[in-house]
């Protein structure tokens, strides 16, 4: 439930920023990057003839058959909510219901330029309202901690996706005077609601690596990967200590390790090793955590992910830099 709401919110953020700010030199917008970002090229191509703004927006906002659309995410959140109804507050359930009904009535007219931005804002606010209601009404029992776990796992994952979506632009142009790309970087920060927080930290230094570092490692930014992992860790610790849950030791260990990587690795090291590779590593790590949480607490069968899982408990650590291991051995 928490994960679906986070997912819907993040998608609304990406679409809104794309609609409004993420323009190229001529002021154009390439909508296909969003399809690529979500790795939906195949199912998109099956359903739509062309990559127009209208099609992409329909696909991600209102398409009932697309499992990654905002509609589907909120529908799933509501279905989860129905199943969890005895555990969650009435207000949470009502919000999911109202939200779902609102999305069900989205017409084509709301997907037109000018109407879209208010709609996406409304969706973002509905998600934030849900999160606020949960914070204010959800009885702090086991269920609420699992809710927090899910929310922050998803949020961290979504931030890596956001960063990955622009990494090509970010990494292949270091010309800071180039306003087009500055616009893209600002768009990235705005998508994460990090623009003003970032400006507070770096008044005069809007470089891609600073932005990447901010979104990955900043300890105070509510959507940074580091903060999200820390929150997942604290929710898990609470579950284990307050409710004496015995499972999840392996997850706790994994979280410790991920936290320490995020807490100590410098952005320079990440860049030398490849930002995309690092993001990929974090995403696989978060996936492994999800799988293991499922196995530890809900008896989910182990998920086939990738070859590394059969031999290793966690994804192989990406080296900080190509020469990183050698430096270690010398030390």
Q: Which residues bind other proteins (CB under 8 A)?
A: 19-21, 23, 25-29, 113-118, 179-180, 182-183, 186, 196, 198-204, 206
- 185 membership: H or E segment, kind and range: helix 179-191
Least Å from the CB of residue 20 to other proteins: 5
Least Å from the CB of residue 128 to other proteins: 15
Q: How many angstroms separate the CA atoms of 159 and 109, rounded?
A: 30
Say if residues 110 and 148 touch (Cβ distance below 8 Å): no
Q: Which of 23, 19, 20 is nearest to 60 (CA)?
A: 19
Least Å from the CB of residue 34 to other proteins: 15
Q: Which residues contact 276 (CB under 8 A, 6 or more apart)?
A: 164, 167
Q: Which residues contact 243 (CB under 8 A, 6 or more apart)?
A: 142, 145
Least Å from the CB of residue 312 to other proteins: 43
Phi then psi dihedrals of residue 139, to 5 deg:
-55, 130
Residue 61 has a CB neighbour count (10 Å cut-off) of 22
Q: Which residues contact 112 (CB under 8 A, 6 or more apart)?
A: none
Q: For other proteins, which is the closer residue by CB, 179 or 306?
A: 179
Least Å from the CB of residue 113 to other proteins: 4
């Amino acid at each position: 439930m928490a994960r679906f709401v986070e997912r819907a919110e993040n998608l609304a953020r990406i679409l809104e920023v794309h609609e409004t700010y993420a323009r190229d030199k001529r002021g154009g917008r390439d909508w296909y990057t969003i399809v690529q970002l979500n790795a939906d090229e195949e199912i998109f191509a099956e359903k739509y003839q062309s990559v127009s703004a209208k099609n992409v927006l329909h696909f991600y906002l209102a398409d009932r058959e697309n499992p990654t659309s905002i509609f589907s995410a909120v529908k799933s959140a509501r279905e989860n909510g129905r199943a969890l109804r005895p555990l969650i507050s009435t207000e949470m359930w009502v919000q999911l219901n109202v939200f779902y009904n609102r999305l069900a009535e989205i017409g084509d007219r709301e997907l037109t330029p000018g109407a879209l931005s208010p709609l996406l804002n409304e969706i973002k606010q509905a998600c934030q309202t849900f999160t606020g209601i949960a914070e204010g009404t959800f009885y702090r029992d086991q269920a609420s901690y699992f809710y927090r776990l899910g929310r922050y796992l998803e949020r961290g994952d979504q931030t890596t996706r956001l960063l990955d979506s622009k990494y090509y632009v970010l990494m292949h142009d270091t010309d800071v005077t180039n306003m087009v790309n500055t616009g893209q970087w600002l768009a990235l920060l705005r998508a994460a609601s990090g623009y003003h927080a970032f400006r507070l930290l770096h008044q005069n230094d809007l470089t891609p690596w600073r932005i990447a570092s901010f979104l990955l490692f900043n300890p105070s930014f509510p959507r940074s990967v580091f903060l999200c992992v820390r929150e997942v860790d604290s929710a898990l610790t609470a579950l284990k200590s307050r409710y004496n849950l015995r499972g999840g030791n392996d997850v706790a260990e994994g979280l410790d390790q991920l936290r320490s990587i995020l807490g100590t690795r410098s952005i320079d090291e990440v860049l030398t090793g490849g930002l995309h590779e690092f993001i990929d590593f974090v995403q696989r790590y978060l996936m492994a955590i999800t799988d293991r949480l499922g196995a530890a607490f809900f008896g989910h069968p182990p998920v086939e992910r990738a070859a590394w899982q059969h031999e290793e408990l966690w994804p192989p650590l990406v080296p900080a830099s190509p020469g990183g291991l050698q430096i270690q051995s010398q030390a």
